[in-house]
Amino acid sequence: MKQQTRVVVIGGGYAGVTAANRLTSDDTVSVTLVNARDVFVERIRLHQLVAGTDDAVVDFGRVLAPAVGLRVDAVQRIDAADRRVLLASGAALSYDYLIYAAGSGRALADVPGGGSAHAIADLRDAGALRDALAAAGPQAPVVVAGGGPAGIELAAELAERGRPVVLACGGPLGPTLHERTRRGVARRLAALGVEVLDGPGSRVAAVTVDGAALADGRTIGGIVVWTAGFLVPELARASGLSTDAHGRLLTDETLTSVDDERILAAGDAASPSGVPLRMSCQAAGPLGGHAADTVLRRIHGEQPQPFAMGFVGLCLSLGRRHGVFQFEHRDDRPTGARISGRAGASVKELVCWGTVQQLVLEARHPGATRLPAAFGDRGRARMLASSGAAVRTTAPASGGAARP
């Protein structure tokens, strides 16, 4: 009987589930996925949960391969020296390889009174906001702080349901959008009745009892929702692993920790060569699959390959009837080409549906969702070149043979 290689995957989001499923292609690998919830959360639908147009969850039985063991628990610490993961329940899981796909969560509203602001960073946040809005009534106004994709989508979703919404961007509307796309998004928000406040003066400087105070001195009444960015967990840093300035696990281009070749990272909490990809399900799936491929190559004594990916676009829902898909260069720079209106909404819905279907396919046929190698080589290479990062493609040996 072949010796089983134990792999623990931390995090049951898009990256973690993809990695866990990919690993089941080798029947000598035992895979355990640790996640704090017993359901898969469609994070890209959380604004819909708030508005009551979707529940944003999928049963793990649908998206996880049967061979993956699901452990519903929270990880408190990674003990890299002894190759163990310490859980909140008091239990410990030993591993031969660890994939760190801890994801990201709410960014703190670091302003006076910010602790009372709502968020939509995870299922609990979104559920609490939905309940608060229901208790306040359908005409209670909302102040959305942050003009990025999360803020835009939430503002549009709520406004389409008839709720008064102010979108306080704190800067330009949709800073990653092409100017043509930005103008189209602004027109749609205006048609929905969203009051868009942009420029430096629109930054929320304080959250008050009944609304928000802006940097330029204006005050706005309403339930405040903070969507200005996401933060990664402190788990990697608190466990003594090397991270970038934001707490993402620092890896080489094979997604291997710079500290330990038995630890890999994927998704929002990964920082390859100190140049992380945009937080998105578009990047999470390929990152998760590549982290698993690196593990499998090491198990079989093969040389891991550098990660290669190019972005395709950025899609936004603007309510249920309109949306936009912005085409992008491989290195995540926007182009002026886009699909908008009802066609854009259809593309966005197809993307949301497709991300789950990719997980289902990978669960049934591990490796089926691989991207062609040539697809993204130029995109990742350009990102690294523009950053001036010192690229490493091999991690220091942690001792011991590749197969435990």
What integer pLDDT is reported at residue 50 of this predicted model? 97
Query: Is 303 buried (19+), middle (13-18) or exposed (0-12) by CB count in 10 A?
Result: exposed
Q: At 196, phi and psi to the nearest 5?
A: -95, 125
Neighbours of 65 (CB within 10 A): 21
**DSSP labels, 2-24:** PPPEEEEEE--SHHHHHHHHHHT
- Stretch 331-354: mean pLDDT: 95
- Stretch 265-271: mean pLDDT: 96
pLDDT digits (tens, 9 = 90+) for 71-101: 999 999 999 999 999 999 999 999 999 999 9
Query: First CA to last CA across the chain, in angstroms?
Result: 14
pLDDT band at 309 (very low <50, low <70, confident <90, very high): confident
- Stretch 40-46: mean pLDDT: 97
pLDDT digits (tens, 9 = 90+) for 133-185: 999 999 999 999 999 999 999 999 999 999 999 999 999 999 999 999 999 99
Integer-rounded Cα Rg, in Å, for the chain is: 21
The answer for residues whose C-beta is within 8 angstroms of residue 288's C-beta and 6 or more apart is 14, 15, 16, 17, 18, 19, 22, 99, 101, 266, 267
pLDDT of 393 strictly over 90: no
136 three-class SS: helix
- Stretch 225-238: mean pLDDT: 94
What integer pLDDT is reported at residue 291 of this predicted model? 97
How far apart CA 95 and CA 30 sit, in angstroms, is: 10
- Stretch 324-338: mean pLDDT: 94
Look-up of token digits 């960014």: 107
Residue type at position 357: Q
* CA 44-45-50 angle, 5° bins: 130
- Top-confidence residue, 311 or 402: 311
pLDDT of 397 strictly over 80: no
How far apart CA 155 and CA 163 sit, in angstroms, is: 9
pLDDT of 389 strictly over 70: no
For residues 330, 334, 337, 343, the Cα torsion angle rounded to the nearest 10 degrees is 90
What integer pLDDT is reported at residue 2 of this predicted model? 63
Q: Could you tell me the pTM of the whole model?
A: 0.91
What integer pLDDT is reported at residue 137 of this predicted model? 96
**DSSP labels, 169-214:** -SSSSSTTS-HHHHHHHHHHHHHHT-EEE-SGGGSEEEEETTEEEE
